[in-house]
Structures are given as structure tokens and as C-alpha cells.
Structure 1
Amino acid sequence: MEDTACNASGDSQTIFYLTGIPSLQKSLFLPVFFIFLLLYLLILLGNTLILVAVVTELSLHKPMYFFLINLSALDILFTTATVPKMLSLFLLEDRFLSFSACFLQMYLFLNITEFFILVVMAYDHYVAICRPLHYPVHMTPQTNTALAASAWITALLLPIPAVTQTSQMAFDNITYICHCFCDHLAVVQASCSDTSHQTLMGFCIAMVVSFLPLLLVLLSYAHILASVLRINSKEGSSKAFSTCSSHLLVVGTYYSSIAIAYVAYRTDLPLDFHIMGNVVYAILTPVLNPLIYTLRSKDVKAAITKIIYIETQALIRILTFKSS
């Protein structure tokens, strides 16, 4: 591939070319497309069902489910920023992205709202178990809205410096990105500029925003564990652990996917593994979140079953009317 002269910093004439998974044979593009399509549809269906169930079912109008629909909305936004382009790449070999589209995708992929929503959910469990008498006072609708809004606003603001500085780097007229989408590190590495500062800054930001929320979650659960151990009844202890189990599984899944992406980047593995590590991070948690909450939460499962039953009956009536 011939390189052209580097454009001036932040030149919007730059076109980005996504290489995809370099060693993947073209004969496998269609199977990979259908796998990603199936996963994306599961993400949309599962998270949409949770959103509809929580909004329409009055029994789910509780703080923990309010934060859950924030998580579901985030998963839909997060995957929609990256997966459709990957589907287009593998089905149509549509590899080009404009400068603005690439940086918008990078910004959305860098969004770290999920970290903060998981912290807020951990705090909700902490208040519910450790301070049950104060729960109605602490977790009012106004407080819940403020906590969720703070998580969204903070997470939307934090990536701006990294994205802005990266946009000021010099790029070729056609810049080849060794990835399936515009990941921050992949774009930085494709620049003609000195990348050491940006790479270090991106790594430091990732570590801080990943492990500070994890520390807060672990701190909340340390207090929860101490409170549960003081409960004399086995039934009370079991109920407390059951309340937290879904959230703990989501936290475990989320940080497992981050660990996979981190190991793929930092170890001396082929480029394909680096790319797939990030793809796993982009897809794994949004796919598993709805499954975890529908399988582990009887209330959510009952609400979704009710919605499916009502919609099925409505469809049967429509089909019966048309055939008569």
C-alpha cells in the first residue's frame, strides 16, 4: 500500500480505510457477518424488551430497575456505534469512513457511562442492604435521576480531550486503520505524528476510568458482605445475596471483557487477536446483560413474559381477522 503525504493536523479531507481482520479469508466473511448480525439482533431485542418491561410494568418502577434501563439504553447506543459498520464491512466490504464519522465512532466507543452506572447500581444495593430504613429517603426519584444524569454527563465529557487531541494529529489522505472500527488506539497508531504521548494518555485514562469505578464497586460490596454476615437468618442472607447476584455477574462479565481486550493489546500476539479482543469487549457484555437480568430476576422475567404473551395474542387476533 502506498502512503501519501500527511495532511495537516485535523484535516477533514482524510478518509479512513478499515482493514477488518487482516488474515480472515473472504470465504469466511459471510459466516462472520451472520454471527455478528445474530448477536446484534439479540442485543437490540433483549435490551429493548427490558426497556419496555420496566417502563410499562408498574411493579418495576424501582431504583434498581431505573438504573437497569439506563444500562440497556447504553448497550444499544454502544453497539450501534460500532456493529452496523462491521456488518457492512463483512457483507459489502464497505471499508471507508469519513474523518467526522470515524471520530464520532471513536468518541461513542470511548464512552464509559457503563462504568459509572455500575457504580451507581452498587450504591443502590449498598443502601438497600446496609441501610434499609434509610432507603426511601436516600433513593428518591430525584436522587436516582441526578445519579444517572451525573453518570451520563461525566462519561460523555471525559473522552473529549483524548478525541480532540487525536483529531489534531496528522494523517495520510487515505489512512489505513488496522481494525473493524475506529478504535482510539488503532487510529492513533495509524497517524503520521509521534504517537507516544497519545498512546500513554489513552492508556492512563483507560486505567483510571476502569479501575476507579471497580474500586468503588468493591468497596460497596465489602460493606454489603459485612452487613450480610451479621444477618442471623439464612433466609435473610440468601435474599441479600440474591439481590446482588445479577449485578455482580454483569460487573464480572464487563471486567472480563475489558481484561480480554487489555491482554490482547499488551501481549505479543498477532494483530488479529488484538482486533478480536476489542470486538469481544464491544459485543460480549451487551449480549449477556439482558440474559443475566431476565434469567436472574423473577420480576423482569415475568414482565417480559407478559409482554410477549400480550403481543402474541394481538398478532394471532390480527392474523385470524385477516384470514376470516
Structure 2
Amino acid sequence: MRGHTLSNRIAMAPMTRSRNPDGIANDLTAQYYRQRAGAGLIVTEGTPISPSAEGFLFIPGIYTSQQVAGWRRVTEAVHEEGGTIFAQLWHVGRVSHVSNQRGGIAPVSSTAQIARNSQAWGLTADGTPGAVDVSQPRALSIEEVGGVIADFAKAARNSIDAGFDGVELHGANGYLIEQFLNPLVNDRTDAYRGDTLEGRVRFLVEAVDAVIESIGPERTAIRLSPYGGLFDMGQYPEIEETYLHIADELSKRNIAYVHFMDQRSRGSSPIPAGFLAKFRARFRGTLVLAGGMTRELAERYIAEGLIDIAAFGEPFIANPDLVERLRNDWPLVTPDRELSYGGGARGYTDYPTYEDAKVA
């Protein structure tokens, strides 16, 4: 994978776990990722690139020296187990709440349109953490857009300083990059305008280029979710044209990989198999697919040459030894979803491996 040799074709997909109240990865975080280092590739939970990038409480960031030091514990743990780990760089854009923003300011986006029927994880009216309706965003000025791109580049440098093997820009699931890509959301009239193909992909391309300049193409990747609908991302006629154009642009840059999120498991439209084949023909690089993944689906897609790596999310929560379970056809444990977010070790690092459970 662009100079990275992986032990298998299984990736651990990024999953928010909200276990870091001070915004710094700690020893428990390191233990969690160490336990799952059997994956050929680990992509971390989304890590905010700046204070304004945050939309969920208790998420470890990557913009301060303390956060870099915290993540270094994680990368050292994974590397001790022989694993490869990329940091997912995250800016939620309008999927935020004023309680997530310093000084209670409005979140920023490509637009001033609020994300309908969407929630962030912030402080509720009584001051306790919980689901809150997203706040009205403010459209970034063109100068501020450049500042956010610089934040992506700085976060990438910080990630390498923290020992990561590379970074994945979060361009999926209705967050900031996709807020520029989707013409139903992007109502700008400047160079990043949403009514032209070049305008709506400009932010993505410039962010990728800034990260490449910062850390190199072989350590740069991106996650995308074509046909997704999370956080008020409506379907538009130019989806295929937009993402095949992105395939061409990313192929020119020879990045580490593209990571697709198929949101069918989230209730959105699936990525059509025909589109996957078309993207594959246009993107000359490693392709990762996540979203409702099973062993059977992974084996079929890999055998057909549609993808290179199958990414599993929720199965990794309760099955730290997921690779061995898949390899040996051992049964999978279903995680307790009540323990997915927040808390401590329970539901996080206390799920046993198959062998340990047999001994117990």
C-alpha cells in the first residue's frame, strides 16, 4: 500500500468512542488500539484538527503538543504489536453545537444552512453531556477556508510527529469536506462554489495537496461516502460525475488509499456495485471499503477485484481479535451498544479474545 506492507487485507474502521474528557489520548486509548493491532490497517477515531473542528465531546484531538504526546502512546503500542496505523483527520463543519465551540461561537461550514434533523454530542440544557440539535452554522470566508486547509496540513505534521504511519482526511459522512462537495449544501458563489464541478471539489483537492506537501503522498489518504445521506446530505444527479472526477484527481496524486464508507447500514442508499467498478477503473491505487462488512462480502469484493482492503467497524469493538476470528471462522461477539460512547474500560478494553474467553 504505497510502501506500507500490511499483514492482511482487513482494516479497523474509524469509530468514535468518546473516552477522552480532556481531549487527549491516554493509556486506556493505547490499550484499546493495541488489542486490535492484528488488523492489517488501523484507522483511528476521527481526531479534530482544531478547536473549531469539534462536534462531539470527549474526542482526542491532534492540534496541541499534549495531544500529540498522547497519541504517541497509541502509535508506539500498535507498532510494538507490528501494526500499521493512520490518524483520521476530522473537521465536522456544521455538524456541531455551540457548546462544542470555544466561547459558544457558531460552527463553521461551506454554508449558513443548518443541517436538518441532525444532532451533535454536546452539552444539553442542564449542562450534562448528550445528544443536541446542531446549531446554525456560519459560512467560512474565502480567507478562512485557507486557514482550515492549513489546519489539515498542520494536523498531518502533528500526526507524523506522534508516530502515525499516515493520515486519512475525513471527507465522508456529511462533515466539512462533503459540505463543500454536495451542491445541495454548498451554496457559495466564490471559487469554492457548489454549482460547478471544479468549484465544489476545490476544497477537497486543496486540502489533499496541502497534506501531501506536508507529509508526502504515500502517507496521505481520504475517506469518502458517495451516495451517503448522513447529516442532511441530499442525493444529487451529479454524484457519479463528481466522484469519478475525484478519482482522477486522487489518482494523479498517487495517494496511499481511498476509503469508501457505504452507508446502507446507516439507512442511506448503498454504493451501487457498478459505481464501485467505475471508480476502480479510474483510481490507480488501494481501495478500502467499509459499511456493513461481512467476511463473505469482503471475500467476494476482493476476489472480484473491486477492493483491496475490507474495513470492519463495530465488529472490532467486541472482538479485539477479529482477524483471528475471521481466519478461523470463530463466532463473533455482539457488542453492547449502551457502552459504545463514553465511560471507561467497560465496553472498551474488557472484551476478551476468543482464546481468553474459552479459558475463562
TM-score, normalised on structure 1?
Answer: 0.28
TM-score, normalised on structure 2?
Answer: 0.26
- Taking CA–CA contacts closer than 8 Å with sequence separation of 6 or more, which of the two structures ends up with the larger relative contact order? 1
Structure 1 or 2, whichever has the larger Rg, is 1
Instruction: Give the structure with the higher percent strand.
Output: 2
